[in-house]
Amino acid sequence: MRLPSLLAVVSALTLLARGTALSAGADKGMIVSTMASPDSGLLDVGRNNGKRFLRVHETADGDDHSEERLSGANMFNTEKIKLAIADSKYAKTLFRRWKRYGFESDDAFKKLTVHNLHKDDNVFQLYKNYLAWLETHHPLGIVTGDKKMFDRVKLQKAMGDGTYATTLFQRWKRNGIDSDGVFDRFKQLGVKKDNILYKLYTDYFAWLQIHHPTASSKKVLAKDFLFDSTRLNRAMEDKDFAGKLFAKWKTNGMDSDPVFKRFQKMGVKTNDKLYQLYRDYFAWLQKNYPTAG
């Protein structure tokens, strides 16, 4: 046998012996990883060709980073399943990990069959508990946080308050809900093309086109958003806000005729409040810009 080959065999045996020792330590509640991070405990282990860093985690709850490295491979091992059966608090922690790594109910079922899910009542109960947890925290068709972001009170407020609507739009976008996602949720709330909820949807669509345009997006100018329904509705009820909105229209070169043309597309002929808003703008122009009209 050549010397390099002999050295390779010796090195392999040495590493195997070390691995066995580390496994024994892990049984005592210590999970050791060969990867290091800035927030982990580091053990400096000397070797002939350099240094190796080992990360140490204490307690069963502390193995998140190790599991992340393995893409969740250890989350269904026997030790964790037994611990989850005995400790409901730990079970919830494990449920969160399963969900975070994309294990839905069917995926968990397949994983738990290895642990005699069909015959072991405790394992089957753990699976049912996971189903109940999913239904509570991640109901089908609803993203976590939807109940707050799409609360009817908040939507109603957004319909009449442009500033609040923008805040809500930012939250939707931040949570990855695009215009189609919003419309799907609005359908559950009874959205129709002739109601105010649909206008809120079109306002969000316009807001996305302005602030988060895609390559295929139709170019939308910022001044287009000055005519979204939330601002118009608020201007109809709030004279001070109406004055500020009128000033923005004027600053953007929108005199009475361009505004009326926009209002025509919105059904001004059959909307008395919208027509009154136009008349208020016309009067505002006559007062502040006598030559405009």
- 28 and 60 both lie in a single domain: yes
Domain assignment present for residue 35? The answer is yes
Among 89, 11, 218, 207, smallest CA distance to 199 is for 207
Residue 239 has pLDDT above 60, yes or no: yes
Flag whether the pTM goes above 0.85.
no
Domain assignment present for residue 1? The answer is no
pLDDT in tens, 78-127: 999 999 999 999 999 999 889 888 888 888 889 999 998 888 999 999 99
- 163 and 224 both lie in a single domain: yes
- 122 and 178 both lie in a single domain: no
Higher pLDDT, 269 or 85: 85
- DSSP state, residue 219: P
Q: What is the pLDDT of residue 236?
A: 86
- DSSP state, residue 254: -
Q: What is the pLDDT of residue 27?
A: 44
- Give me the sheet containing 41-47, strands edge to edge: 30-33, 50-58, 41-47
Q: Which domain holds residue 226?
A: 142-233
Question: What does residue 74 show for φ and ψ, rounded to 5 degrees?
Answer: -95, 0
By percentage, how much of the chain surpasses pLDDT 70? 66
- 167 and 125 both lie in a single domain: no
- 157 and 183 both lie in a single domain: yes
Residue that has been written with the tokens 């982990």 in this structure: 40
Comparing 5-9, 57-61, 107-111, the range with the smallest average pLDDT is: 57-61
Strand 41-47 to strand 30-33: parallel, antiparallel, or no bridges (unpaired)? unpaired
- 59 and 40 both lie in a single domain: yes
Domain assignment present for residue 5? The answer is no
pLDDT in tens, 127-150: 999 988 887 776 655 554 566 788
Cβ-based neighbour number of residue 103 at 10 Å: 19
- 133 and 153 both lie in a single domain: no
Among 187, 197, 182, 183, smallest CA distance to 149 is for 182
Domain assignment present for residue 227? The answer is yes
How much is the mean pLDDT over the chain? 73
